[in-house]
Structure 1
């Protein structure tokens, strides 16, 4: 395994953005927080320690937001297993506004951001982790959400008399600190379902926005993961594609154009169809598989439904019966290069709390994008918040990708895709 010295985010993004065009980028990160295991452990097994981190990327051009990507990173440490650690990158949402004034490869941009996340050293997240529970009783002079008003006033009065206006240092035992092993498995998973918009409300009303149908969206993400497998993972890695409700032969047709040789029909979580879904399917945010698991728990069937039954019944749910192709895909393996990158404070802003993270994110997701005004407002809100509240500016990126470089990223067109009906092609009425 080779060790690399990853570049910072602005330099990486510059390589996939049009030459001499100026962009601004936001990388928002949540505080690493201890959370429940992503896969429910069996009764007699020790629960692993799991850390959850949320990333939100946004790209701005000509003072308008044009793109955003939301990703969750889960780091799992087992203490009684041969496979001692795993990193799971769950791609939650990616979206465009349609208001970009230059031709931009959002596929290459998305691939670059995911590869950037795989290059980050997991220990970057683990030096200061918010635990699931804290003992506030042992810290009588610390103001917390559990401090009653009378006690809080006494603490503030005491500080005032002592002429101490600075905040007391948070005790080190209020945070966890862990060490990730050098070699670990990395998994990337996502769920594809065509929607008019994912992060930018009403953006589908913009006629310039490219909306993909189910097959196009599946192939778009499939080519991204395939490229990542070829560039980031070892050749022994797994790659799986599942389309609930479709035959194995039909799913294999989508794998005809991939470059990585280990693509198979199936799911990267679980090996045997007889395994219980409850101990195999991960619990992920805003995910239909997780919603179905919770329904099974409410129905009292959680301990009897195996993976084969789970996928059959999942295909019958409303989310999978809207006459659109819906897929689940994922990869799992050992990265071919060591993850050594540590993001600088200039590249990323770590929100001090989940509430602050959602507050900053809402400056973007809270706007309406049926007109360009929403895209302008989102940029102005983020720019002013960083300038006035944080006394810092957004990172500027100047594109370096030439027209020659663009040709390198183009894949051969599948003949079946070239003639498929899309939301962007006018369908002509047959002549009578």
Structure 2
């Protein structure tokens, strides 16, 4: 498993288009898509459990790391950003204009790694011509995080989870006022996110490794399995991988060692700003299970951890249909992609074998969760044997103390610190403290992106804020130039996708360009080399000629 992984900038360059395209009806040839990627994240830190513990059990030790990626383009490459029309400030501004952003929260426990797509949004300043830049950036970032987590924790089941709920803006205040920003409705949005996650079902290991099991799931409260199929991609995947109507919560509970007969509140995750988490909070209040809530039921009933009106998962999803988020004509889709660890056939079916576990342990997993080999929940638990440590021998070599949670030494010279920051800036990757990350997000959510000029000023302010937090000198973004060859237009939904935790995309003509025909003496003439094929139901009338 000691295989090097490509950098995020390399993966983005491979996903973004390289060949010139032509805008619909304009005949203007556009160069390869070029932008600047900036990526900030936090180290894993202890957090509240993602799942409520079953009665009589201790909460799962959980760690959380936040990941945020933004993609910007220069002002001259934005919608309506012709060089002659730019203001003097925009011509000199170097940070560009933020166009695409996505935030992913990574929760880690002993047996499960969960990637929750928290928010995603666009400003509408990226030109609207296919293929979709937003789809490429969001899909590549999620896939890159999946590869990183599977490389660190090869023996854990990995889950990508999100809920699709259309709103005008999530991360870029004022962007809804921009006329070029296109937003899908709820149903179109769910389909778009399914197409973004669909390439994960083609995930594979190194050719010499066993193939992992990857399955996708979709649940929409109030929809039956047959109706859900209309929202799912029809891509044919190998190794029996597919999209399934429903949810994987019962299987994930078994992975965590929780019996399927446990209370529903122990089977459902609680993500930030999650419609089902708010419903769970209301159900907890009814039976006095919420924190600091007055006890309104008998102690024995409260101790059982069961809700009164919702006794199982099926009833929970039925009740979700009548919640405000899912009622009044609104549709909310809950999507999952589950990547199961590979069973090594040459090692008695153990997950990845001892080599994979030792590799994961050597990576310094959070909280020492993998310090010792532990049985999986499906195996009978037994008292672990204590290993007798060998006495230490040899000379004692003193070590300098290190900063807690950091990578720099207390005695590091200014040259070494500058080298670390320069290396981070060269890769577009900055590791911030949780306080610094929260401050950067707070600043972004209090800016304005209503038009090009204010969006450029807001971009400069946000970049300067992050630079000031970590003490950098100059910008840390990395320029990415698209290298992907143009594919078949029909397979890409096209258009600019404005997503806010799934804000959607607008489909255009899929790259089809209608050229102007030459007219001679008011009579339409078609070049002999060109053959026009008319679609079904299209009838062309003969041009009328003037009577002499």
Change (3 A) 1:312 1:5: same
Q: Does 1:295 align with 2:282?
A: yes
Using the size of structure 1 for normalisation, the TM-score is 0.73
Q: How does 1:269-308 map to 2 (within 5 A)?
A: 269-271=249-251, 276-300=263-287, 303-304=306-307, 305=310, 306-308=312-314
Q: How does 1:23-42 map to 2 (within 5 A)?
A: 23-42=35-54
Match of residue 481, structure 2, among 373, 383, 399: 399
Q: Does 1:9 align with 2:88?
A: no
SS in 1 for 2:486: helix
Q: Does 1:370 align with 2:369?
A: no
Q: Which residue of 1 aligns with 2:99?
A: 66
Look at both structures and tell me which one has the larger radius of gyration over its CA atoms: 2
Q: Does 1:231 align with 2:203?
A: yes
Q: Which residue of 2 aligns with 1:130?
A: none
Match of residue 263, structure 1, among 243, 248, 251: 243
Q: Distance in 2 between matches of 1:194 and 1:238?
A: 25
Q: Distance in 1 between matches of 2:222 and 2:473?
A: 52
Aligned residues: 351
Using the size of structure 2 for normalisation, the TM-score is 0.58
Q: How does 1:142-291 map to 2 (within 5 A)?
A: 182-232=154-204, 234=211, 236-255=213-232, 257-260=234-237, 261-271=241-251, 276-291=263-278
RMSD: 3.2
Greater mean deviation of Cα atoms: 231-240 or 64-73: 231-240
SS in 2 for 1:94: strand
Q: Distance in 2 between matches of 1:327 and 1:273?
A: 23
CA deviation after TM superposition for structure 1 residue 392, in Å? 4.4
Per-residue CA distance 1:224-283 (angstroms, 9 max, x = gap): 211111125856333211010112221122236243443211112125997532010001
Q: Distance in 2 between matches of 1:4 and 1:50?
A: 27
Q: Distance in 2 between matches of 1:385 and 1:326?
A: 35
Q: Which residue of 2 aligns with 1:80?
A: none
CA deviation after TM superposition for structure 1 residue 362, in Å? 2.9
Per-residue CA distance 1:93-138 (angstroms, 9 max, x = gap): 1111001147452112111000111122479xxxxxxxxxxxxxxx
Match of residue 95, structure 1, among 92, 117, 121: 121
CA deviation after TM superposition for structure 1 residue 74, in Å? 0.6
Partners of 1:39 and 1:281 within 8 A in 2: yes
CA deviation after TM superposition for structure 1 residue 288, in Å? 0.8
Q: Does 1:356 align with 2:436?
A: yes
Partners of 1:94 and 1:198 within 8 A in 2: yes
Q: Which residue of 2 aligns with 1:57?
A: 69
Partners of 2:213 and 2:341 within 8 A in 1: no
Q: Distance in 2 between matches of 1:333 and 1:21?
A: 32
Greater mean deviation of Cα atoms: 320-329 or 230-239: 230-239
Partners of 1:108 and 1:409 within 8 A in 2: no
Greater mean deviation of Cα atoms: 322-331 or 230-239: 230-239
Greater mean deviation of Cα atoms: 336-345 or 66-75: 336-345
